[in-house]
Amino acid sequence: MINGMHKTRKFSSECFLRGKFYVLGGRDDNDKHLTCGQSYDETTDSWELIPDMLKDMTVIAHSQSPPLIAVVDDNLYMLEISLSELRVYDINTNIWKKVGVVPVSANAAFGWGIAFKSMGDRLLVIGTSHSWHRKTVVHSCRPSPDVEEQHWEEIKHWCVGAELPQFIHNCCVMFA
């Protein structure tokens, strides 16, 4: 059993980053969107509240997906769905920096129509293309927090001919 968090939440996103467990966003008991985050330190069995961790993120609908986050090379990335922007978190300043846009429609179905995952040293986005025929595409990049625009490559041999449903409820990426 571990100590309780400062704020209870549901529909949040979680990750391990630099030896701590982070919980971001979500909704409180009154269904209000939370902009704070929390980190758990196992060595001290304590939670640190991170006020306004998501203060610059746009809430586009009450039914919006939890924050789309992924960790690559000890950096936390987020997909800002309203603008299809990729952002990286500066843990020291509590600021998200824009590092480009993603090549898929991130705001499809209020963020539920896209998968955003890490795989080794890469980020993956799975969703529908920006083009008029709206086909399912998978793109990958090796992100860098110091670059203003990432280089995305389409992975052509995945999802060939597949049509994704409007909602991606869960996505797990595995490789050997």
Contact 50, 36 (CB under 8 A): yes
DSSP codes of every residue in 75-141: EEEEEETTTTEEEEEETTTTEEEEEEE-SS-TTGGGGTT-EEEEETTEEEEEEE-SSTT--EEEEEE
Contact 124, 56 (CB under 8 A): no
d(CA 47, CA 3): 8
d(CA 106, CA 126): 9
Q: Which two tokens stand for residue 98?
A: 């824009």
- pLDDT tens across 48-64, in order? 999 999 998 877 556 77
Residue-level pLDDT at 176: 41
**Does residue 132 have a pLDDT over 60?**
no
Q: Which of 43-57, 60-74, 133-147, 158-172 has the lowest mean pLDDT?
A: 158-172
Query: Count of residues for the chain?
Result: 176
Instruction: Give 17 or 161, the one with higher predicted confidence.
Output: 17
Residue-level pLDDT at 7: 87
